[in-house]
Structure 1
Amino acid sequence: MRKVNARIIKSTSVSKSSTSTAIKDETNAFGDMIEPLYRPVDLIEMSKESTVIPQCVDAYKQNIAGFGFGLQYKEDDTKVDETFEMKAEWERVKDILQFFNFDKPFKDVWAEAIVHREQTGNGYIEIIRDGTGLPAEAENMEPEYVKVSKLGDPVEVTIWRNSKQFKRKKKFRRYLQEINGSKVWFKAFGDPRKMSWKTGQYGDDIPPEEEANEILHLKIGSGAYGEPRWISQSPHMSGSRKAEILNLNYFDQGRHVPMAILVKNGLLTDESVKQLEEYASNLNGVDHAHKWLVLEVEGLDEGITEDEKTKVDIEMKSLADILQGDALFQTYDDNSRMKQQSAFRLPDIFVGRSRDFNRATADKAREITEEQVFQPERESLAFILNNVLLEPYNLQHVEVFFEGPDISDSEDKAKMLTVYNQIGGVSPNDVRDDVGKILGKTVEPFEDEGAKIPLSLRQQQTGSTFPIALQKGASPSSEIVNVLKDLRDVLEGMQRGTN
């Protein structure tokens, strides 16, 4: 038997770090505060001067937050009957969202934050808590006036997720708003410490009226500041802007000289020379375009007497080939627009350019963009809304989500329902939601238990005849197809009549 030498090593207790140990790059810090790599005021100006960025930002605003909020029960609660506690929490969350801001809908608060985030990479929402310490009010803050500090020392926080309590160590930043020399300090949302809005210092003896509010920071990226998604396209944006200015200056300062007048064997009169000098010195702007210039010419002396003059030859030479065309850099501007637009991953139809689309390509573009761009953004913001902003409420049954557009096609649904009905898989209540969408109103399900059973299966169980009279010799499947097609035509006709 082979011998194995074993050595016993005395174990020691090892304490694992309870917070992140990754190094944060904050080389732009000046003292405790960090200077942004790009000035927000410059980013806002650049985005507004672009020929396509404002449309892209507006598309993000409308398609992410523009459809409002919806409420739904959490996945585990959808499998049970609604209880009194579930109904009470549902109404409570409705009130929270309705009264989070008294000047505008809560969705507009998020929409404005999205605009700021897409323009500068940062959206700031001031959160105000009520007397019980729960978030009760939200206000937007202009990003050009806010600065961010370095990460502070780790602080123990209590986090609620799915009715479970967790203890974690977390680092927080401070925020400074400065306008015309006036300074106000804010702490990061979720920071449990008391901080003075006057000094930015933490302390337990800070009076309630001096306690700082919190900031919910929505940003693109993981740094102290976010960066707009179009930042890599800034050279194209600058070039496109200069091309637009050059074209504009042509109408204000451009030279309109459509032809040259050549005179042979003659001299211009003194009046013509003076007129030509005045014409040339004022030859700019649209008011001087396409005007006539009349010149008087005298022939040279040829004979003994002064009455004999040479024959004057006047030639007009076109200069149209050296004039500026309809628009300089038009191809460059189109390429620049497409590059800026690609940073947002948006098709042309979302920025008002729909000349190359038909219904099929437009529907497909909407479907892909909804799936790849807008829906992921909504889910990301919904996570922040439920698990960060509303986390202090410790909601157990209800969660909030961002509503989206209905991009389904009623005709495709009718075809699908026809197939399902042929195989006996559709009950009357199954199609109530789709019927409501076609009619444009909420349609409640039938209360009868039999409405939850497919008609063909119910007929087999009860042995009763099909409720719709069948024509003699017609098979049930073909009759169902015809009835559903007629129903589809009627509903679509009603929808067109209401539009």
Structure 2
Amino acid sequence: MTSKIISGGKSGKVPSEYLRKKTVIEKRRSLKFKKQGGVEEARDLTLLSPPYDMTTLKSISEISDILQQCIEAYVQNIVGFGMDVQYNVDDSNETPEMKTEWARLTDLINGLSVERPAKEVLEEILRNMEQCGNAYMEVIRNGAGEVVGIDSILPEYMTASKLNRVSLDDGTTLKVRYYRYQDNADDSARNQGIWFKSYQDPTPLNINGSVAKDGEGTATEVIHFKIGDFIKPYGIPRYIGPLIKILGNRKADELNYRYFTQGRHVPLAITLENAQLTPESEASLQGYANAIGGEENQHKFLLLEAEKVSPADEMLGMDDKYKPAIRIERLADILQKDALFLEYDQSTINAVLSAFRLPPVYVGLSQDYNRATVETAKELTEEQVFQPRRESIAWRLNQLFVEYDFRYAEVYLKSSNLTNMEDIKAILDPAINAKAVAPNDLRDLLSKVLNKPLEPFDGDEYNYPMETIQQPQSTGIDLSKAYGSNNLSEVAASVRRMIRRASDD
């Protein structure tokens, strides 16, 4: 007796478009031109194909049940809180020049995009970078050459050129690339695409890839955001390691779905020996199988009648050998009882979370968390993941305004308030009881709690412990300057009174 394994369907393999491709160099193209003064320059505009298909990478988040949540967690926690202006110098003595610079920079960041808030542009850029490993921010200048706007460009239509080294007027060397945007590959013979140049590249490039006279180029600049080495032409998504798991998990979900739409649910089998069902029993069995659920079909019994089938020699007394029998066999034990590959699904989730360095609470998986573990996870992720990324993006944003020569103010990305009041209380209680806290020591803390700016109290007496301070009524202190004049003023004053009572005890 021989046996063999019977399997259905075709042997599957990962589609080649999901795997790393060999870099393809398009037709070599170089430009030569003369700058003012007769200096000859050359630019290599040879385009390099990306290692992965960008359109495919962008669609993977649509088929994954965990990838999109991780990307949105990055977007919300890195740039989702918006951006603002802060001083990069000591602001205890704010000068008119500092105020003017603050107001100027605030107007610039509020007007970086006229179609939507600049925060949404940054969100789209970060989302593209996490989906494709690459993102492009277009930089828009006014007639005076100053940056006045930004916008995002779809990465699946952008192609980067080879690296060029450009000598600047101050003697430094700038590493730049050139980029072509082309969304109509089938019409490449007539559509040559739109060309861009790297940010701060002085090359007078035109949008058709030609070179104009100095200062007359029509191509705008882009900043290339990518994950990976700066020297490489393209970035790679951080989920590229568990990519196979993501695709396999999708296939597992499709298999489970097909079980309910195409699978066979046969709970039992009726076997007959030396007998056949009567026509009435077959009709009754068929009706039982086709019966629609409801109250009228509850508590019914199935009656099967069979006719004996035996050879002609049963008349000789050998009928016991051909005794008819009806058996009903349960098949429930071999049926699929629940979704398959549940452990594989959990393994995929863990692998993707690890690639993004995110705790499960950021994607809504918080069954095993309590308040203490959640706070610890948030603080660790904020320190190790989100804040370094904010600083990197903020640096690039501040580079946009180098022509304005700002000296006192800079752009920063806002973050969530992770102040743990229980820890602060545990620290402040002994300090207050020991008469070691001055009123001005608590101003920054109250500002965070009340979410409003609070200025320090005027006077050196408020820089010393509380028992040396007279009551505000006897000193004539204007509390409106300290606490403000809106609805939160009384709340802030109440907090201060509680702290004072604790110190008196």
Code of the residue aligned with 1:484 in structure 2: it is: I
Which residue in 2 is equivalent to 1:195?
A: 205
> 1:376 Cα shift?
1.0
> 1:296 Cα shift?
5.6
1:414, 1:485 within 8 Å by CA — same for their partners in 2? no
Structure 2 vs 1, CA of residues 271 and 121 (structure 1 numbering), >3 Å: closer, same or farther?
farther
Tell me, yes or no, if structure 1 residue 184 matches structure 2 residue 194.
Answer: yes
After superposition, what is the alpha-carbon deviation per residue over 1:248-278, rounded to whole angstroms, capped at 9, x for unaligned? 1101111111111111231134687799999
Which residue in 2 is equivalent to 1:221?
A: 228
State how far apart, in whole Å, the 1-side matches of 2:266 and 2:350 are.
Answer: 35
Structure 2 vs 1, CA of residues 274 and 175 (structure 1 numbering), >3 Å: closer, same or farther?
farther
State how far apart, in whole Å, the 2-side matches of 1:484 and 1:397 are.
Answer: 35
Within 5 A, what are the aligned runs for 1:439-450? 439-450=450-461
After superposition, what is the alpha-carbon deviation per residue over 1:185-210, rounded to whole angstroms, capped at 9, x for unaligned? 1111111121111x2122316856xx
Code of the residue aligned with 2:157 in structure 1: it is: Y
Structure 2 vs 1, CA of residues 206 and 67 (structure 1 numbering), >3 Å: closer, same or farther?
closer
Which residue in 2 is equivalent to 1:375?
A: 387
State how far apart, in whole Å, the 2-side matches of 1:247 and 1:420 are.
Answer: 60
Within 5 A, what are the aligned runs for 1:353-432? 353-386=365-398, 388-432=399-443
Structure 2 vs 1, CA of residues 39 and 278 (structure 1 numbering), >3 Å: closer, same or farther?
farther
State how far apart, in whole Å, the 1-side matches of 2:467 and 2:204 are.
Answer: 66
Q: 2:26 aligns with which of 18, 27, 30?
A: 30
Tell me, yes or no, if structure 1 residue 134 matches structure 2 residue 125.
Answer: no
State how far apart, in whole Å, the 2-side matches of 1:406 and 1:421 are.
Answer: 24
TM-score of the superposed pair, with normalisation by structure 1: 0.76
> 1:351 Cα shift?
0.8
Which residue in 2 is equivalent to 1:168?
A: 172
Q: 2:69 aligns with which of 33, 55, 64?
A: 55
1:418, 1:484 within 8 Å by CA — same for their partners in 2? no
RMSD value, Cα: 3.3
Indicate the SS of the match to 2:127. helix
Indicate the SS of the match to 1:171. strand
Tell me, yes or no, if structure 1 residue 42 matches structure 2 residue 56.
Answer: yes
Which residue in 1 is equivalent to 2:273?
A: 264
Which residue in 2 is equivalent to 1:469?
A: none
Q: 1:114 aligns with which of 108, 122, 126?
A: 126
Structure 2 vs 1, CA of residues 229 and 292 (structure 1 numbering), >3 Å: closer, same or farther?
farther
> 1:487 Cα shift?
7.2
Structure 2: which 5+ runs fail to align?
A: 1-21, 28-45, 291-297, 476-495
State how far apart, in whole Å, the 2-side matches of 1:279 and 1:149 are.
Answer: 70
Identical positions, percent = 39
1:118, 1:229 within 8 Å by CA — same for their partners in 2? yes
1:346, 1:369 within 8 Å by CA — same for their partners in 2? yes
After superposition, what is the alpha-carbon deviation per residue over 1:393-443, rounded to whole angstroms, capped at 9, x for unaligned? 221111111111111212322332233334444222221232233334443
State how far apart, in whole Å, the 1-side matches of 2:466 and 2:281 are.
Answer: 98
Aligned residues: 419
Structure 2 vs 1, CA of residues 294 and 327 (structure 1 numbering), >3 Å: closer, same or farther?
farther
Q: 1:145 aligns with which of 157, 172, 175?
A: 157
TM-score of the superposed pair, with normalisation by structure 2: 0.75
Code of the residue aligned with 2:177 in structure 1: it is: R
After superposition, what is the alpha-carbon deviation per residue over 1:267-313, rounded to whole angstroms, capped at 9, x for unaligned? 13468779999999x9xxxxxxx999986632236987xxx998742
Code of the residue aligned with 1:261 in structure 2: it is: I
Code of the residue aligned with 2:71 in structure 1: it is: V
2:274, 2:324 within 8 Å by CA — same for their partners in 1? yes
After superposition, what is the alpha-carbon deviation per residue over 1:146-171, rounded to whole angstroms, capped at 9, x for unaligned? 1111112423166xxxxxxxx41112
State how far apart, in whole Å, the 2-side matches of 1:128 and 1:292 are.
Answer: 79
Which residue in 1 is equivalent to 2:362?
A: 350
Structure 2 vs 1, CA of residues 52 and 114 (structure 1 numbering), >3 Å: closer, same or farther?
same
Q: 2:78 aligns with which of 37, 41, 64?
A: 64
> 1:73 Cα shift?
1.3
Within 5 A, what are the aligned runs for 1:206-355? 207=216, 211-222=218-229, 223-269=232-278, 297-300=306-309, 312-355=324-367
State how far apart, in whole Å, the 2-side matches of 1:27 and 1:354 are.
Answer: 42
2:461, 2:468 within 8 Å by CA — same for their partners in 1? no
1:189, 1:216 within 8 Å by CA — same for their partners in 2? yes
Structure 2 vs 1, CA of residues 400 and 276 (structure 1 numbering), >3 Å: closer, same or farther?
same
> 1:338 Cα shift?
0.3
> 1:380 Cα shift?
1.4
State how far apart, in whole Å, the 1-side matches of 2:301 and 2:388 are.
Answer: 63
Which residue in 2 is equivalent to 1:287?
A: none
Indicate the SS of the match to 1:228. coil
Within 5 A, what are the aligned runs for 1:429-468? 429-456=440-467
> 1:41 Cα shift?
0.8
Within 5 A, what are the aligned runs for 1:1-12? none
